[in-house]
């Protein structure tokens, strides 16, 4: 069985499409857990229309808004009965073959703890914008290679809706590491899962990641949280996953210089990011200055 968790907050315009895309999967041995974080729109009414569906095992409404999405993930995982878990964001949707494709791939890798497809970014209306697929092949990573090549300098997974993970690899004793985060908790979550086994990447875009004004990640990026929170993930990977300076310094420096421009960090955010990183990781700060200078030279 696959336990599918849909954490929702004020996504009524997209919620029915999300739920239907789950119930229409060609792989149908699943249970559906619907969680609502005290929505103020018509989400509750939509969820209630699925109350009698035999695959819906829980519909839970929070009395107060928790404000942190990762706490809802953990809440759903604690209820889950399946061998595998899929956290399906309430504003995303997927192809009917999403689960079958991942389960087929995982069947050939018994020690797989995390499997994911690539993703289509779509507009608020669901129009395709672009995808990150690279040819339709499948890649199997060792734990170390996945963390080194996909997680060391940034979160290499577009969004959680594209992932399936083994429930036995979930680490309830480690949730305090990421539950307080607004942006980077998923990054931390994937690293913890990947430490337990191999990771499969199916390079076919079967997930649809919706972009809209209420998208939490967009506002969080502009506040510099990739670095203010992400540095905790780097700390962990250095301490536990064997990362070396050569494996992260240039990548982090380049990303810092790029995001500072892309998201037009205000002075207070620039200062906070520099204070968070420069003293602790002078090697990253040095690369940041190099990439920043290169951009200014190119611009002039």
Per-residue pLDDT of the chain (300 residues; tens, 9 = 90+): 999 999 999 999 999 999 999 999 999 999 999 999 999 999 999 999 999 999 999 999 999 998 888 999 999 999 999 999 999 999 999 999 999 999 999 999 999 999 999 999 999 999 999 999 888 899 999 999 999 999 999 999 999 999 999 999 999 999 999 999 999 999 999 999 999 999 999 999 999 999 987 776 778 899 999 999 999 999 999 999 999 999 999 999 999 999 999 999 999 999 999 999 999 999 999 999 999 999 888 877
Helix (H, G, I), strand (E, B) or coil at 143: helix
Among 218, 237, 264, give the residue marking a domain's end.
218
For the chain, the straight-line distance linking the first and the last C-alpha, in angstroms and rounded, comes to 58
- Does residue 196 share a domain with residue 282? no
**Domains contained in the chain, number:** 2
- Does residue 247 share a domain with residue 264? yes
What CATH number should be reported for the domain holding residue 96? 3.90.550.10
> Bridge-partner residues for 121, per DSSP?
130, 209
- Does residue 224 share a domain with residue 176? no
> Bridge-partner residues for 33, per DSSP?
5, 58
- Does residue 96 share a domain with residue 127? yes
Among 189, 218, 247, give the residue marking a domain's end.
218
**What's the rounded Cα separation, in Å, for the pair 11 and 28?**
24
Q: Report pTM.
A: 0.95
- Does residue 80 share a domain with residue 186? yes
- Write out the H or E segment, with its range, that includes residue 52: none
Which is it for strands 93-94 and 163-166: parallel, antiparallel or unpaired? Answer: unpaired
- Does residue 168 share a domain with residue 92? yes
Instruction: Give the residue numbers spanning the domain of 256.
Output: 219-299
- Does residue 207 share a domain with residue 116? yes
């Amino acid at each position: 069985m696959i336990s599918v968790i849909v954490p929702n907050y004020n996504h009524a315009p997209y919620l029915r499409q999300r739920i239907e895309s789950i119930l229409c999967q060609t792989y149908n041995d699943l249970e559906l857990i619907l969680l609502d974080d005290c929505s103020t729109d018509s989400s509750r009414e939509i969820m209630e229309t699925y109350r009698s569906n035999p695959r819906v095992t829980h519909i839970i409404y929070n009395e107060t808004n928790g404000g942190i999405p990762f706490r809802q993930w953990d809440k759903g995982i604690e209820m889950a009965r399946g061998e595998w878990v899929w956290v399906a964001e309430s504003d995303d949707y997927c192809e009917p073959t999403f689960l079958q494709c991942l389960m087929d791939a995982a069947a050939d890798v018994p020690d797989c703890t995390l499997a994911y497809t690539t993703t289509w970014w779509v507009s608020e209306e669901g129009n395709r914008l672009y995808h990150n697929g690279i040819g339709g092949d499948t890649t199997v990573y060792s734990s170390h290679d996945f963390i080194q090549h996909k997680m060391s300098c940034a979160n290499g997974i577009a969004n959680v809706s594209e992932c399936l993970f083994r429930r036995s690899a979930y680490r309830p004793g480690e949730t305090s590491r990421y539950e307080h985060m607004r942006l980077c908790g998923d990054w931390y979550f994937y690293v913890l899962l990947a430490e337990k086994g191999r990771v499969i990447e199916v390079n076919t875009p079967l997930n649809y990641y919706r972009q809209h004004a209420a998208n939490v990640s967009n506002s969080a990026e502009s506040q510099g949280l990739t670095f203010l929170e992400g540095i905790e993930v780097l700390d962990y990977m250095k301490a536990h996953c064997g990362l070396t300076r050569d494996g992260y310094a240039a990548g982090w420096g380049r990303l810092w210089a790029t995001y500072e421009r892309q998201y037009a960090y205000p002075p207070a955010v620039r200062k906070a990011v520099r204070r968070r990183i420069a003293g602790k990781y002078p090697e990253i700060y040095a690369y940041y200055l190099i990439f920043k200078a290169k951009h200014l030279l190119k611009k002039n």
